[in-house]
Structure 1
Amino acid sequence: MSALWQRGRCRSCGAAIDPIHWQMEAAALAIGVSAGLVAPGAAGMAGAAFGWLLLALAALDWRAFWLPDRLTGLLAAIGILGAMADVPPPMADRLVGGALGFGLLWAIAAGYRRWRGREGMGGGDPKLFGAIGLWLGWRMLPAVLLVAALIGLGVVVARRLAGRPMAADDALPFGTLLAMAAYPAWLMMIGALA
C-alpha cells in the first residue's frame, strides 16, 4: 500500500516509513502520466515501462552504487520489443545505439583504468547506457551523455556551495545521472514525432 496513503507510517507497527518511498511513488506517477500524455496507447505504455525501470535503476545506483544486471537486461529486452511493436526509433537505430552506448562507456572505463591504474566507472554504467541506446537509438546518445555530465557537474557545484567539496576520488552514481537524462530525452523524441 502507498506510503503516502498511509501518511508515512507502517500500517502494522506504526513506524515511520522512509520518505524515499513516497518520493518514488510520486516520481512513478509523474512518469506514467507524462508517458500517457506524450504518447497515448502502446507507445505510452512502453515509455512508462522505460521510465519506471530507469527510476528503479537510478534509485538503486544513488543509494547503493548498484545497477543490477537483471533490471538493466530487462530494460534492454523491452527496448528491443518496443521496436518490434513499431514504437520509434527503428530497430537498426536501436541496435546501433545499444552497441555504441555500451562500447563508448566501456572504452572510457577501460581507458581510465589503464591511465590511472584504478576503477573510475562501475561495470553497470556501460550496460545501462547500452540499454538506453536500445530505447533511444544512436542519435540521442550524445545528448543524453552531455545532459548526464551536466547534471553531475551541477551536483558537484551544489555540494561545493553547501560547503561539502568533493575530492578527486569521491564517487558519483553515473547510472543515476544517465537515467535522469534518458527519460526526458525519450519524452522529447516521442513528442517531436507526434
Structure 2
Amino acid sequence: MDRRRFIIGLPLALSACGATEVWAPDDVVSRAIYREPGRKYLTLYTMKKVRDNSGAHTALLINANQRVMFDPAGSWSQDVMPERNDVLFGVSPRLEEYYVSFHARKSFYVIGQNFEVPPEVAEQAFNLSLQAGPVAQANCARVTSKLLRRLPGFGSIGQTWFPNSLQRDFGQLPNVVTQEYREDDDDDKSIAAAQIRTALGAGQ
C-alpha cells in the first residue's frame, strides 16, 4: 500500500434497529487493552469522497485510561481489536494506522483531527462510547456529535447527521492538529482488508 501523509496544521443510546449487537467477552477485552502514557486526547476521523469531498463516515479515537476507537456502524471486519457495540479495543498506533489505511483509497481520503483533553473528559468520552452502540447505518455522525456535545468544552459542536458538518465544528476547537491521509489502493476495500489481515498475521 502506497501511503502518503500530508500535515495540514498542527441517554446516548440510539435505537439499534438494523444494528447488530456485538459484545466481546471480558477476558478477550482484557488481553487486548492498549494504554498510551502521557496526554489524553480525542481524534475525530472523517472519511471523505475524493470526487466531491462529501463526508462518508465518522469515527472517534479516544485515548483515555485505554485507547479505543468508537466506530459507529463501521465496515472493517477484523479479528485483532475486540468489539463491544462499535467500540474497538486495543487500538495501538499501528492498528490505528491500519484502520485509516483500510478507509483511504483511490476514491476516498481520511481527515484526522486531534484534540487534547483533560483526563476526566477523556474518561467521560470513553464511558459514553460504551453506552452509545450498536449504531444503525447512516447514524455515525449523529451519534458521535451527540456524544461530543455531552463533554465539557464541546458545546460548540452542533448536533448533525453529516460528517462534514461535524468535521467543520470539531476543527474550530482551539489547537486542533489536522492530518490528511491519501492512498492509491483499489476501490475494492476487500483487497485492503486482505492485505492488512496478512500483515497482522505476520506480526507486522
Same fold, TM exceeding 0.5?
no
TM-score, normalised to structure 2, is 0.31
Higher helix fraction (1 or 2): 1
Q: Which structure has the larger Rg over C-alpha atoms?
A: 1
Higher strand fraction (1 or 2): 2
Relative contact order (alpha carbons < 8 A, sep ≥ 6): 1 or 2 greater? 2
